[in-house]
Structure 1
Amino acid sequence: MLRLTADQLPVFVPFGIIGFYRYLWYTIRIAASLAYQPIPLPEHPTYVANEDVTIIVPTIDAGEEFKEAAHSWLVGRPKEILIITEEKMLQPLQELANAVDPERIRVLTVPFANKRLQMAHGIKHAMTDIIVFADDDAIWPPTLLPYVLACFEDQQIGGVGTSQRVQAVGKRMTVWEVLAAFRLTIRNIEIAASTHIDGGLPCLSGRTAAYRTVVLKDPEFLHAFTHDFWLGKYQLNSGDDKFLTRWMVSHGWGTYVQCCKGAELLSTMKPNWRFVKQVLRWTRNTWRSDLRSLFTERYIWTAHPYVAYTMVDKLINPLTLLAGPVFVFYILYRSFIPVENGGFHLPWWNVLVSYLVWLLVTRAFKLLPHLWHRPQDVIYLPAFILFGYYFAVMKIYALFTLHETGWGTRAGIGDATAATAAADGAARVASEETQAQRPVIEKPRHTVSRGVEPPNFSSGRLRRKP
């Protein structure tokens, strides 16, 4: 750590090798995100929403916010919306669907709440070329579907994501929602940068992501998706978006993310302390998935080396972040020791004030894209700094509790024993029906018309041919 401590400049500057690395890394991300360009809308699109898109929404407790979200989806004119819920929630969800559009919204059920089982059930009933998964509170701009479909003009693309922004649950954002908004701002920069640099990204967010149906109807995928275990014995219910992203990479499909206003969705976050439990679940999912990507599957190293590097960076990030305050506390301790005995000659208050100012200025710089649009959120910078250190400790805690696979913010979800039994039956039925429904790609545009070989069904694997 470099310290400008001469009497001519009696200010403590907590900037050293780690700081240089962190901000060089961030500058590269900013530059790449600025160079990124979304795929423009084609003049004559191959895919149109009213023929080619089914929206699948797994939910158990959709409320009034569902109506606003559903109306925003319908503006894009999808062919069908499938709401997948548990049996006991059929009536209230059916009433919500009827209040919005009973002709284009169908409500289907599974025996109990299990997100992956619900998603697999929706896949089984989808009959279009593109499936879009959406959270029940994801509000889309009118142009989101056209922008998403534009990416599938490239026949190598198997999955497409979007940028995101937080919508307040109440009249104004709580501190928890602002923290979530800060995190999404940083995430939007990261995914734009990685997409520009090597075409990959760590995760196609489950809030809204689109996939080719042929990939998802593969019996091998359906079985793996509903029988995903950590360490061979802890069944995973959440982390579906991470699994889908890894499947794209391991099976040779490209991904893309549309980071632009035309494809930027709004999503609500937990407006209270439950946001922390939400982040803990996401953190565990990230640990499990990234460790698999880097050390078990290892496709990411050759397919998207930049993304692999970002994953390694996130593995060590808690240690580099916590190193800063540890060094500062050490220097504070030395400031109380006489200089002649090897102490630090700046007074403790100089060190502390300099460090706090440094944190505020550098974090404000990091959040400039957000503060440019919402300058009033600058008052939450101290909370963001404190949450950053808390999050570093949380990541370490999450690493040692990866066996905990419960949902965390929704009761009654994640019964691994029941899920295993139901998943066996669901996967078997899905496999049987998929065999009968395989000719889902009816139009030659997917294969011969664009000079791309069709997916190879004979091997039972939907691996895109190079």
Structure 2
Amino acid sequence: MSLSYAYLLTQMVIFIPAIESWLRADPHEVLIVTTIEWYERIKASLETVDDPRVIVHAIEVKSKRPGLIAGIQRTTTDHVVLLDDDSIWSLATLQGLLCGLSAGPRVAGVSNIKVNIRMTLPALAPDAPSMFEAMGAGRHDRRAATNTAMAYFCDSQITCYTSETTAYRTEALQRPGFVEHVVEDYWKGKCKLSSGDDGAITRLYQNGRKTGIVVHDECAIEPKSKENTDYLKQILQWSRSEVRQLVRDPYLLLPSHRRH
């Protein structure tokens, strides 16, 4: 299994525990794609990890979508997991994703649910969730509820993959036309999109292929939010992407989308 990381955006203090959780799943390799500006800092931080399976690659473009493409093009295994640097895995996360992909060759990708920190910490506890963590948990709740309901009624189809952790068949991402579909994505044919990569990939595989979601708690991930106002800007950006997805693909809400 090859894990592809797209672009470092958050603090190193979050990144190192995340990558250690990925390595505990015993992957074939971890491909970290970042910018030239961040390259030396990431290499230095990885000295504490000291694992030959971790490979760092730098690109010139400061955008997530080209970073994902760079990681996908360097993948040599049958499956690849695209994930964010703040996604901390459970011990059974990778096993659950692979079980989802084993459902059949038509399954192009499988996402999983996130641990909601509001369910594990009392509201008035000394270490209760911060405002940023609570807002992030609320967003994860909505995404999980939407995807789970969609999967139940529409033969495991989901409305949108999650960029935090999703496993794919490599051949599905290396097929002709994939790069153009993801990188050359425009809103109303004018504005080139940099976010919403998860929605772009989902649109490509909702026709002819199957999507899926793993809902077992033991396979969940624990995403960590940034403790600053930049995280609020990210939530706004993600919300805009979700609205664009529904506007571009209104048939997602129709019963005719059900597969038999």
TM-score when normalising by structure 1: 0.51
1:304 equivalenced with 2:257 (yes/no): yes
Q: Give yes or no for contact 2:86–2:223 (8 Å, CA) kept in 1.
A: yes
Aligned residue in 1 for 2:243: 287
Alignment-derived partner of residue 20 in structure 2: 71
**Matched residue, 1:439:** none
Name the CA shift for 1:289/1:188 in 2 (closer, same or farther; >3 Å). closer
Query: What is the CA distance between 1:165 and its match in structure 2?
Result: 2.4
Could you tell me how far apart the structure 2 residues matched to 1:264 and 1:291 are? 29
- Which of 176, 179, 190 in structure 1 is aligned with 2:132? 176
SS at match of 1:139: strand
> In the alignment, is the contact (CA less than 8 A) between 1:116 and 1:225 conserved in 2?
yes
Question: Helix, strand or coil for the counterpart of 2:157?
Answer: coil
What runs of 5+ residues in structure 1 fail to find an aligned partner? 1-52, 307-465
Asked if the contact 2:153/2:258 (under 8 Å) is kept, the reply is no
8 Å contact kept, 2:8–2:85: no
> Highest Rg: 1 or 2?
1
Q: Which residue of 2 aligns with 1:103?
A: 52
How far the C-alpha of 1:188 sits from its partner, in A, is 2.3
* Contact 2:116-2:141 within 8 A present in 1 as well: no
Which stretches in structure 2 are left out of the alignment for 5+ residues? 119-125
- Of 54, 61, 75, the residue aligned with 2:2 is 54
Aligned: 1:185 with 2:141: yes
The one of 193, 201, 209 aligned to 1:244:
201
Higher strand share: 2
- Counterpart secondary structure, 2:182: helix
* Residue 270 of structure 1: how far off its partner (Å): 3.5
Say whether the 8 Å CA contact 2:65–2:194 is kept in structure 1: yes
Percent identity, please: 27
Pick closer, same or farther for the CA change 1:202–1:209 going to 2, 3 Å. Answer: same
Aligned length: 250
Alignment of 1:308-323 (within 5 A): none
Say if 1:202 and 1:245, in contact at 8 Å, map to a contact too.
yes
Which gives a bigger RCO, structure 1 or 2 (Cα 8 Å, sep 6+)? 2
1:164-214: per-residue Cα shift (whole Å, max 9, x none)? 12569x954212322322332343233222211112211111000111111
Matching of residue 226 in structure 1 with residue 183 in structure 2: yes
The answer to whether the Cα contact below 8 Å between 2:146 and 2:159 also exists between their aligned partners in 1 is no
Q: Distance in 2 between matches of 1:69 and 1:59?
A: 14
Structure 1 residues 317-361: Cα deviation after superposition (integer angstroms, max 9, x where no partner): xxxxxxxxxxxxxxxxxxxxxxxxxxxxxxxxxxxxxxxxxxxxx
Q: What residue identity is the alignment partner of 1:240?
A: D
Q: Provide the rounded CA distance (Å) in 1 between the counterparts of 2:244 and 2:166.
A: 21
C-alpha displacement of 1:93 = 1.0
| 1:205 equivalent in alignment to 2:153 | no
More helix by share: 1
Could you say what the CA RMSD is over the residues aligned between the two structures, in angstroms? 2.3
Aligned to 2:121: none
Q: With structure 2 as the length reference, what TM-score do the two structures score?
A: 0.88
What are the within-5 Å matches in structure 2 for residues 338-349 of structure 1? Answer: none
